[in-house]
Structure 1
Amino acid sequence: MSGPIAIDIWSDIACPWCYIGKRRLESGLAEYAASEDAVPVEITYHSFELAPETPVDFAGGVVDHLVKAKGLAPAQVQQMLERVTGLAADEGLDYHFENVQHTNTVKAHQLLHLAKAHGLQLEMKERLLKAYFEQGRHVGHVEDLADLAVEVGLDRDEVVRELTADTYLDAVHADQAQARAYGINGVPFFVIDGKYGVSGAQEPATFVEVLSTVARERAGLVSQS
């Protein structure tokens, strides 16, 4: 097989582990790219909604949502968020859960599909995650999403038009159907070269190992059984 190694990633904007996993993947890619047998990679993000029932204008914060969704005590949730914040900091991320505006993410996922059509999906994904976890920006309203989209080079009028019309909603649903077919029930989830699945925000070395294996297989150095 020739061409770049495909890395297909299922994730949600409102998933703190997805941002951490993104950074760890990037670290792994940087290490892998320095190896002699490195093959170019092509990353595509796919839609996965952790809480599709969430209203756009959710009344409360992240703690309120998790208390209700997971049945945990507020103190337990706070402890959990502090741990995740610390792990995010290790990856250079500055989470502020106290400012996060929890919301429905289906429009944000549609925006990622629109950005993909313009070759700007990776930039849009990074902008949405940063806006949500670090800046306390709202990522559920069309107008707010359009503001963020303009920052990465998309046309505001097109974004408003396409998100209002739900042009990419079928694409979001197709991603979700594929996730179910793969048996994905949590994110982030990485499918590498269409055959290797990596679940969770794994350490960079895990990605290096899988990519190196794929490269060796393509070179005929190991069995692809």
Structure 2
Amino acid sequence: MKIEIWSDVACPWCYIGKRRFEAALAAFPHRDAVKVTWRSYQLDPALPEHYDGTELDYLSTRKGMPREQVSQMFDHVAREASGEGLNYRFDSVVVANSFTAHRLIHLAAAHGRQDAAKERLLSDHFEHGKDIGSREYLTSLAMELGIGRAEVDELFTTDKYADDVRFDVEEGRSLGISGVPFFVIDRKFGLSGAQPTETFSAALDQAWQDANPLVLVNSAEGGACGPDGCPA
């Protein structure tokens, strides 16, 4: 069973959704038969490589939201994150374009480290105030993941994996995805947003049953009991 997750590392609900999905997957009896692929998505592709201001400044000015409304939103999202064991610190978030970070996730996927890269980027961005657009930070992270420096340098000297990121974004749009996180199971089932763990569990069960229907073999020939008793 293939699960694709469209997500942006600059999206707070994407980290919450990741945790809730992981909890459902951990309890899924067929989890070993599930392949998870992270797909790129950018909430604000026009964002400068680095934004001179806080997350509060960014949302209140660039998005036109009242500062009080943004602060209330931060409090609400932080409470939701705390319920999943996450410690969001919006006052420390460094606002930066996520495009190169997405390219790094594709590079990490080539080394079998995609989920680890995604996890670190989300945590470092929302919990530890790291600059996800910084060459120094991304290089350090990649090397911690076991990726050679020469390959990381390619991200900053060439456009390697740029087309992969753009393809993910365009494919997401073709599927009707206009917000993240968005979970697609076997290209048949779609779930939008950081759904409760129970919803993810129900979707996994339904998708598995749909992909693996029960087949009856010689059902008419074997003895069986029913509501009216057991035939001789």
TM-score by length of 1: 0.91
Match in the other structure for 2:221: none
Q: CA deviation at 1:158?
A: 1.3
> Aligned match of 1:21 in 17, 26, 33?
17
Measured in 2, the distance between the counterparts of 1:90 and 1:159 equals 35
| Aligned AA (1:103) | A
Partner SS state of residue 27, structure 2: helix
Map of 1:170 onto structure 2: 163
Matched-pair identity in %: 46
Residue 83 of structure 1: how far off its partner (Å): 0.7
Gaps of 5+ in 2: 216-232
Aligned counterpart in structure 2 of residue 83 of structure 1, from 72, 76, 84: 76
Q: Which amino acid aligns with 2:164?
A: A
Q: In 1, Cα distance between the equivalents of 2:214 and 2:197? A: 23
Match of residue 115 from structure 2: 122
**Residue of structure 2 in register with 1:157 after alignment:** 150
- Report the secondary structure of 1:32's partner residue: coil
CA contact (8 A) 2:49 2:97 kept: yes
Q: Is the 8 A contact 1:38 1:212 kept in 2?
A: no
Distance 1:175 1:38, change over 3 A: closer
Where do 4+ consecutive residues of structure 1 move more than 3 Å?
none
Tell me: CA distance 1:139–1:150, structure 2 relative to 1, closer, same or farther (3 Å): same
Q: Which residue identity is paired with 1:10? A: W
2:37 maps to 1:44: yes
Match of 1:8 among 4, 9, 13: 4
- Name the counterpart of 1:105: 98
Q: Under a length normalisation based on structure 2, what TM-score does the superposition of the two structures give?
A: 0.89
| Higher mean displacement: 48-57 or 151-160 | 151-160
Assess if the C-alpha contact under 8 Å between 2:142 and 2:148 holds in 1. Answer: yes
2: CA distance, partners of 1:38 / 1:126: 19
Task: For residues 147-193 of structure 1, give each alpha carbon's deviation from its aligned partner in whole angstroms, at most 9, with x where no partner exists.
Answer: 11112221122112234312000001100110110010100000011
Question: How many residue pairs align between the two structures?
Answer: 215
CA distance in 2, matches of 1:145, 1:39: 30
Q: CA RMSD in A?
A: 1.4
Q: Structure 1: which 5+ runs fail to align? A: none
More deviation in 140-149 or 76-85?
140-149
Q: Is the 8 A contact 2:25 2:31 kept in 1?
A: no
Structure 1 residue aligned with 2:189: 196
- 2:68 maps to amino acid: A
